[in-house]
Chains A and B, each alone.
Chain A
Amino acid sequence: MKLHIIISSILLTLFVLSFSSFAQKPLSGLEVIQNVYNRPEGKDQDGTLTMTLINSRGDQRVREIKQFIKDFGTEEKKIMFFISPADVRNTSFMNWSYDAEGRDDDQWIYLPALKKVKRISSDSKSDYFMGSDFTYDDLGDRHPSDDTHKLLGEETFNGEACYVVESIPKEEDYMYSRTITWIIKDKWIGLKKEFYDENDELLKILTVEKYGKINDYWIITHSKMHNVQKEHTTDMLLENLTIDAGMSDDKFTERMMKRGI
């Protein structure tokens, strides 16, 4: 009887300890970033993207794009139609990205002056998109396996409880030496992100100005990228957003690239 009580006590203690250990085990940096990567954003969405480029003198240039995105399971397809400025109107860009680790995106551009769809290399992810402060890679969903992630701690930012995660690219000579992201705990939204250049100097800060729940999905609709070294900012606004409208697969074809919006 005494033995039975001792065994029961040990089992109970182990259970309580293991439960409390499970409950309090902090997430790893990788798990946090995976939660951000896997945050549902709907099966498909379309909207108008307005980028305002603001230089150090306050001069502004505006670029307007209509974009369509659809999740096909293991791949995501995106098509963008350039609306302004006038000299790039009717240019379109299509990107197919894949969940498979290490698999490059497929990209095409339609140039109305050439009346031709051209396959382009997706290797230039460090190129800035339309002269903005966002690179092509900044705009895409970077796969968590591309970086080594470390949870630096937890902070309250803009009134939101956040995880702070440092991500160091595995690829040598990547355009950033590291990034630090503030991620809202219960929403898995990156509220702020700092980008450090190859010399580990702060290069850019991305801040989310507005996000909200649309069709039960947390969606960022307004963000700003500020290049602190060049005193240049890009304001990015996503409007007229439609989610899960049942977009046709045929939207992501050469036919649509040529036809336009």
Chain B
Amino acid sequence: MKRNYTDKRPVKMSLFVLLAAGTMLLTARSTVLAQGIQVNGFVRNYMGVLLNDGNTYSIIQNTIDLDLVHSTERISLKANPYLYHYADAELEIDLREVYMDVYFDNVDLRIGKQQIIWGKADGVFITDIVSPKDVREFLLPDFDEIRMGVTALKADYYLGNHTFELVWLPVFTATLMPEEGSIWRPAMDFPITPEFDYSQQEVEASLENSETFVKYSAITTAIDFEFMAGYVWDDDPTMHIRKTMDPQTMQLTGLTVTPQYHRLGIGGGSFSSTLGPFVVRGEGAWYAGKYFNIADPEVTDAVVKKDYLHYLIGVDYTLWDIKLSGQFIQQAILEYDEAIEQDEFDNTATFLARRDFLRETLTLELFTYVGLNNNDALIRPRIYYDLADGLEILLGANLFLGDEGRFGQYSDNNMGYFKIKYSF
């Protein structure tokens, strides 16, 4: 989220807040430890500078993230409160997760707000759609911070290394989008400035509107695999667009955009296996009845419902101590209509290279998303260094290449950033 960041207080101010909060936490920690609650977590300072915009700050964020666990043999309680303090925005305090685990011989129940992660893909969401995403800062935060907790009942039945999982979400939680004015707000191309009507955006909390997911997964000596299905809500809203025309001139005089959520059926699976020194991964899903925007004036609301495929193949390999990983991802709209705004086939590739040095205290990493349809990319070089056990500094950059597309649209948002994180 782009904030004003007119506040030019020196960096030490935010570090002071961070350190003060950390001290309080550590004091509190010893108290709760004595009460049988295990306390872990981290304290972090994160500063980002826009490289194309006079070195203004894209973010100054202080974080406290706690992991509170109380366990017995059959029951475990967990809470993951977090606090984001910004230099020029309201303090954000919430619970990422808060749930209870009940363990039986072959069954585990997890009840409460939780992150549920599926699939074998890295950095791509294909069957991994149970927990919606917080994309207020695009895909830049750590993945455990991008994924939002959902209120759910999750039941797992185990048969050795085979797992049958049922997830029921009584309440729909949507993707958390960047606010208006944010530098991460996705580009929307309209001929005139539209009016937004948010009246249809609410999905009423009711039994009829709940979501259900099932999964069967196994790990074996030859292959690991998952099969999943769900009757869900699309986490991203469809933009229903109504045009107002001047009847005499036939000129466009008004646009009303009504974001609305729709039901989806989904079925898919994933696998992972080793072939000599290679790990081969694949994941795919069929989405039944996904809505797309269409530039056909005859179509009501400028939306059309189509089935859609999303799949990936990836390979991991280590060469000269460098861990390499590549993925090719394709999204395909079935029974395509030429007027649909999204391409029939949308191709993306990801590439990761990582190497540790100095006894795993220094890590160099390069992660890249490449949009093959628009020749755009997000390049993320990062250097991690452990100053001491649990105390890590991170220097990185987010470089957006191209003029359009999922990544190119942010070409003005190239940024360098610094993070310091203490885990306890």
What residues of chain B lie closer than 8 Å to A118, measured between beta carbons? 120, 272
Answer yes or no: A87 CB below 8 A from chain B CBs: yes
Q: Which residue of chain A is the closest to B220 with respect to CB atoms?
A: A106
Answer yes or no: A128 CB below 8 A from chain B CBs: yes
Say whether A113 contacts B219, CB under 8 Å: no
Considering the chains assembled together, what is the distance between the CA atoms of A241 and B374 in angstroms? 59
Given contacts A106-B221, A253-B158, A253-B160, contact A131 B361 (CB under 8 A): yes
Contact residues, A90-140 vs B (CB, 8 A): 96, 104, 106, 108, 112-124, 127-128, 130-132
What residues of chain B lie closer than 8 Å to A84, measured between beta carbons? 389
Say whether A122 contacts B359, CB under 8 Å: no
What residues of chain B lie closer than 8 Å to A86, measured between beta carbons? 40, 42, 389-390, 423-424
- Interface segment among B182-190, B208-216, B251-259, B276-284: the answer is B276-284
Say whether A113 contacts B389, CB under 8 Å: no
Say whether B144 contacts A113, CB under 8 Å: yes
Considering the chains assembled together, what is the distance between the CA atoms of A66 and B274 in angstroms? 27
Partner of A121, one of B115, B142, B278, B356: B278
Contact with A along B81-93 (1 / 0, CB 8 A): 0000000000000
Which bucket holds chain A's interface residue count? 35 or more
Q: Which residue of chain B is the closest to A114 with respect to CB atoms?
A: B143
Q: Which 8 A-B pairs have the closest CB atoms?
A: A131-B359, A85-B389, A123-B277, A131-B360, A86-B423, A87-B423, A115-B117, A86-B390
Contact with A along B224-236 (1 / 0, CB 8 A): 1000000000000
What residues of chain A lie closer than 8 Å to B278, measured between beta carbons? 121
Given contacts A119-B274, A127-B321, contact A255 B40 (CB under 8 A): no
B residues in contact (CB < 8 Å) with A: 40, 42, 103, 108, 115, 117, 119-120, 142-144, 147, 156, 158, 160-161, 163, 217, 219, 221, 224, 272-274, 276-279, 316-318, 321, 356, 359-361, 386, 389-390, 392, 421, 423-424
What residues of chain B lie closer than 8 Å to A123, measured between beta carbons? 276-277, 318
Partner of A122, one of B40, B108, B160, B274: B274
List 11 A-B pairs, Cβ < 8 Å. A85-B390, A106-B274, A114-B143, A115-B147, A117-B219, A121-B318, A124-B318, A130-B360, A131-B356, A131-B360, A250-B158
Considering the chains assembled together, what is the distance between the CA atoms of A116 and B115 in angstroms? 11
Say whether B390 contacts A121, CB under 8 Å: no
Given contacts A121-B278, A254-B163, contact A61 B389 (CB under 8 A): yes
Given contacts A130-B360, A254-B219, contact A121 B40 (CB under 8 A): no
Answer yes or no: A49 CB below 8 A from chain B CBs: no
What residues of chain A lie closer than 8 Å to B120, measured between beta carbons? 118
Other than the given A115-B115, A123-B318, 8 more pairs (CB < 8 A) read: A87-B386, A115-B117, A119-B224, A121-B318, A232-B359, A253-B160, A255-B158, A255-B163
Answer yes or no: A189 CB below 8 A from chain B CBs: no
CB distance from A127 to the nearest CB of B (A): 7
Answer yes or no: A89 CB below 8 A from chain B CBs: yes
CB distance from B74 to the nearest CB of A (A): 12
